[in-house]
Amino acid sequence: MIYLDHAATTPLAPQVREAMLPYLAEWFGNASSLYALGRKSRLAIENARELAAAFFGCQPREIVFTGGGSESDNLALRGVMHAYRDRGDHLITTLIEHHAVLHTAQALERDGFRVTYLRPDRFGRIDAEQVREAITDRTVLISVMYANNEIGTVQPVAEIGRLARERGILFHTDAVQAVGYLPTRVRELPCDLLSLSAHKIYGPKGVGLLYVRQGVRLEPQITGGDQEGGRRSGTENVAGIVGLGAALELVYQDLQAGEPERIRRLRDRLIAGVLARVPEAELTGHPTERLPNHASFRFPHIEGEPLLLNLDMHGICASSGSACATGAIEPSHVLLAIGYTPAEAHGALRLTLGRDNTEAEIDRVIEVLPPIVASLVRLRCPPVAEPPAAIPRSDRAESRTPDPIG
């Protein structure tokens, strides 16, 4: 199997699994309990919190553990907008955010808040000047993702963060795809809130974190206890939190060893090979300001789903820009936002690399993909048949231009 869908999820690293196992078995105590078994769990959580704080360059008390990236995004947007309602009611975000942000923004609109959705350019990039022009005296929060999950485009978050800081506005970035590949020291970005999901960095599913700068008010969205400093109630997922801490340690080691640059070279090999060998293939997203592990394409005249199934039959795991919702295939909202038509947006392919991928695997994909695309194009666009003989005038059905509607 060749796994090229690391933007969707990553395999659990063996070192992470080993770190978690004791807390799934003998060290099962509730971290709120006072006896030794509970104190063992509490110590493990706080150790993971310190690891996360060291990774992001912040204080341990600024780390809030959550149930994953989607919850972190929800907590950031809902928590801030409701906590600062006395100051303003305006949120700025973009049309290409993850649905965890977009759907939350839409829910906030139903609650009476105002939202501005910025449209990116053809490469999926937001200009800081767009953000500046959207700011009003009622703007409370700006939320712009660090890097897009579908097309890999990296946003100028440092510039946007400095702008927000100058105007006294809070800035949140969804960094789920960026951690492990791009700089994420929160003081240097700068940002006030940052979301992370463990399963995108070789950690377990069902756990994430939200960095919340000290002094930022946050209205909790899950109530019922005093866990996480009262910001996120619920008995802690001790094993998951331990796994998140262990995953961040491994990510730090990868960064020190130059792993992102190795993956970048593989990505460039993949992009060059696909564009050279697949007629009409188009790279989506920014050609240079993109994630080191991210290659995304659009192929005219085909659908993404048959392409994925054919790749799967060759042992290649990939993703499409389309999503299956309520039984119907819907085009990617990201591709629509950057100017593609619904028909054009259906022929998308996303290939995202990870630490275990090799040159041989990349070369195999470059070998397999072109004939698959060619066969799907032939199925979708059969040769044009000879036109039929002209029909005698007397046998033709009467035709007329329909009356315009309205």
Residue with tokens 């040159």: 359
Residue with tokens 């994420």: 184
Q: At what angle do helices 238-256 and 36-56 cross, to 10 degrees?
A: 30
> How far is Cα 265 from Cα 150, in angstroms, rounded to an integer?
20
108-119 b/e (C-beta count within 10 Å ≥ 16 → b): beeeebebbbbe
User: CB–CB of 205/66 below 8 Å?
Assistant: no
Residue with tokens 């070998």: 367
Is the Cα torsion angle 12, 15, 17, 20 positive or negative in sign? Answer: negative
Q: Torsion over CA of 45, 50, 52 and 57, rounded to 10 degrees?
A: 160
C-alpha atoms less than 13 angstroms from C-alpha of 312 in its C-beta half-sphere: 10
> How far is Cα 281 from Cα 122, in angstroms, rounded to an integer?
16
Write out the catalytic residue numbers.
324
Q: Torsion over CA of 95, 347, 69 and 37, rounded to 10 degrees?
A: 170
> How far is Cα 231 from Cα 218, in angstroms, rounded to an integer?
7
3-class DSSP state for residue 285?
coil
